[in-house]
Structure 1
């Protein structure tokens, strides 16, 4: 797998150096993979005045964790080990000594054996040196229980909520006992469940596991290890509901509780998909009568390049919510605070109403209605093939775009005159199809409908529609677009529909040898040769369907 690397052995150091360049308050201890706040380094002059330090860390590979949270309002230092490996005891001790004054330090540790051992021993050594150090272990993984015959629950993305609440208290000057108690309360009540759609790939290494095309790992950790069960991939709504049900049951949540929701990107999940999971998870909580006070999402604690997501749910009171809303300069924190998110019914506002050009339906034309029904069926049947053709020479969305328009017609077809039907199709095209094809089809159908309304015959209306497409899009015959099929078809239509179809086929076939000068294909140069233009092919498909 291709990676943007130099030497795999240097990835942690080089990544931290890059992180420090983007965060002016961040510094690295010389020769160490330890990020610290510049303004919180201990000296003999400030030791007595420094507030409680918050120190976290663990293996690398979870970026932006943990250095991305070293900032006012969150962590004071982050100690990084190698990829997916705990830092050493000595490294943790260096981090503690660098930022811990008389007020002491709180270590926030995820529940993995290596982290618990190394941070625990470092805390003991720091106490022996006279420093006040407390440690909180986060085990928010609801996929496991402590008596499952394994190493126990793991620390997952819910740890970030511990950082935030403890960080807000420390920033306003709370003592170590108060900060530690607040952190433990969050650690004991937050619940997280993760899902992986594929493995993580360690720099210089191999993928952690293999999955079938329709499989997921449910209940997995953050180090590339498989989950507790391998399942078939369900729809996002079902998957999110399953994860929320597990969290709700494990953490004893019930109707009337108030929570915050944090959706984490495992590393390679498109934002679009994560937002769908956010929507589904919030809906699942509300359907169970649980109030969702805040919703955040982002790459908060990743597993390098793993596709997947985590959902963390934390029951909160007013004080905790205030701490979560408190300002922080940490760039990795996904929430800037704010008011309660909208409910499912409040996401939408009414659409301004405007009269449609086809409001006057006129005398129904059963023949045209039937022809349009056939054309939309044909476009739906050809969706996969058009998508394949478009993926070879464009952005792969044509089949889906035209299918959206076809489904919209089938959902609300119109019985009216030929002109009214074309006007309705024009409105559907501009509203549903989108992209480049939507406005072009909308212009052509609108112009053709106007021509029919003014008494033109079908050949003249067809030609008027093609003129509308050309005027709006600017393409000409030879540019390798839908125009290469439309223009000859319109010219031949005076000899009948069969002649128009044959002319369109010839025009579409000819695009396979043309160099594109319009659309996405124009960026590919001669690489499109041998592949017909999918827009021209689509013209042939719906023309053939009109014949019946």
Structure 2
């Protein structure tokens, strides 16, 4: 008798977008839990992941995430917490983007619509009773056999932040990210046939470091995805061209594509590729989606590729963005059987299957336990004088107010690299800080610096989310640990240095990579140097803030090597990094209070 394995697939989505999980939950389906959603594509919370993942399941939990810094940090934190509590779990990171040619991208390949296929595979394996180790191993191997490329005709508009970028009415952009990150090339409008050929040629280009190798005789599943604003007709046209080029097709309509349009695309794509799986990004009609599918199939089949499965629909959308993505997955018997496995998940689109498809029964449902309880709050004792307590109160209040006032400025800077929501993210955290600072029931413990830092870390994780929230949470948590030892100028300096080290460890960036570190690191180094030179604490901190400002401004000419900015062409980055500028804002606010 085998144990039930509960596959938990966590995925993030933006407000108005499709996270890929809402309709993908069900017996035989892609996951056991829904995804966590953030505003404008931000990552869900590590604490939320633990609540969902530590269900007391005997078999274990597989966490499937897209390869974005915030996802890796927050869900990695959830996995580590779960392991610490004695639960069996593993994490599969999906990064199948074939757009980026350069190998000098420390953030790695982006996770796109191929995540849906990995979720379906894991769900089927879990129902078969496969071990946690087997499921994770097969899923990780499947990620290496998969590639996705996107094409956009319009930007997405994040609520409160405006359009993420501008694109001419007669232009299209190849390789755009689902959060609005810049692609690799812009060109004038072309026919569906030419568009699909451009996408697949780039995906399989031998000179592309992130390419997917596809050769004569290969068997693949093809997914055509609607990014949000593509009609079904357009999506199916893309599928047709891809299939004609490769062999067979599998397509998916994400949102705005009609069934008629989608089926037209599928038919044409099958003629070219064999069978296909395609995804509509959101604003593409079904007819358009099916046209894309047809072209994809024709193109793939013309190259001797057998497209054995094609899925077409809206699987991973980016708000109202008009565009499509094409995903190809190399098939073997195991992966094919997983995709064909029966499921009652409403979001899973049935492909055009060959005759002889087998049905399968579903084992009885497993009863899960309630999520773990949250630790109760403890009474906090003041560790500083009344004067310093008031000073800390003013510092926190002023820093939060300045971040809120700078929301639009930071959003404007962030639009260069994608989401355009850095200011909104910082403002959300600042608003909650002000609320808790003034709370009568459980105000921020400004009389205890260590506990204050710990609470600020919790607020950053819960209110901000994404990579920024995760990194600030790690930063303040580390600072809290250092401040438990003593409270002195040298202790504050050591705490700042330790926080910077933690950000470098988990964020994967270094000074010079065009991140918040380019402001924090020089400030930390200068503060330590000045204190060692016996300068006064105020003088030392003034010098540190000056170095912080200089470092932030210098990011305007730096090449981005980490985070989402690393996906953007260098000539598009002409202003300082918003994360670095945010650091100067709150550090300057602290200095204002210290100087009074």
Q: Deviation string for 1:14-62 (max 9, x for gaps)?
A: xxxxxxxxxxxxxxxxxxxxxxxxxxxxxxxxxx954232322123343
- Segments of structure 2 that go 5 or more residues without pairing to the other structure are 206-210, 245-298, 357-596
How high is the TM-score relative to the length of structure 2? 0.47
Question: Structure 1 pair 340/221, CA: closer, same or farther in 2 (3 Å)?
Answer: farther
Does structure 1 residue 157 correspond to structure 2 residue 113? yes
Other-structure match for 1:268: 229
Does structure 1 residue 95 correspond to structure 2 residue 57? no
Question: Structure 1 pair 149/181, CA: closer, same or farther in 2 (3 Å)?
Answer: closer
Alignment partner for residue 307 of structure 1, among 322, 328, 348?
Answer: 322
How high is the TM-score relative to the length of structure 1? 0.52
Q: Deviation string for 1:460-517 (max 9, x for gaps)?
A: xxxxxxxxxxxxxxxxxxxxxxxxxxxxxxxxxxxxxxxxxxxxxxxxxxxxxxxxxx
| Paired residues for 1:131-210 under 5 Å | 131-145=87-101, 147-149=103-105, 151-210=107-166
SS of 1:253's partner is: coil
Distance 2:181 2:308 in 1: 32
Question: 1:144: how far off?
Answer: 1.6
Alignment partner for residue 106 of structure 1, among 56, 62, 70?
Answer: 62
Does structure 1 residue 322 correspond to structure 2 residue 337? yes
Does structure 1 residue 70 correspond to structure 2 residue 11? no
Conserved 8 A contact 1:79-1:92: no
Distance 2:98 2:125 in 1: 27
RMSD: 1.9
Distance 1:151 1:49 in 2: 37
SS of 2:343's partner is: coil
Question: Structure 1 pair 132/68, CA: closer, same or farther in 2 (3 Å)?
Answer: same
Distance 2:213 2:320 in 1: 33
Conserved 8 A contact 2:4-2:127: no
Distance 1:263 1:336 in 2: 11
Q: Which moved more, 1:220-229 or 1:135-144?
A: 220-229
SS of 2:158's partner is: coil
Higher-Rg structure is: 1
Question: 1:336: how far off?
Answer: 5.0
Distance 1:291 1:337 in 2: 13
Q: Deviation string for 1:92-146 (max 9, x for gaps)?
A: 1111123x51210111110001001111111111000000111111110001257
Question: Structure 1 pair 337/178, CA: closer, same or farther in 2 (3 Å)?
Answer: farther
- Segments of structure 1 that go 5 or more residues without pairing to the other structure are 1-47, 342-548
Other-structure match for 1:285: 300
Question: 1:150: how far off?
Answer: 5.1
Distance 2:35 2:123 in 1: 16
Other-structure match for 1:51: 5
Question: 1:189: how far off?
Answer: 1.0
Other-structure match for 2:414: none
Question: Structure 1 pair 118/64, CA: closer, same or farther in 2 (3 Å)?
Answer: closer
Other-structure match for 1:220: 176
Other-structure match for 1:333: 348
Conserved 8 A contact 1:267-1:302: yes
Question: 1:253: how far off?
Answer: 1.5
Conserved 8 A contact 1:260-1:314: yes
Which of structures 1 and 2 has the larger relative contact order (alpha carbons within 8 angstroms, sep 6+)?
Answer: 2
Does structure 1 residue 82 correspond to structure 2 residue 33? no
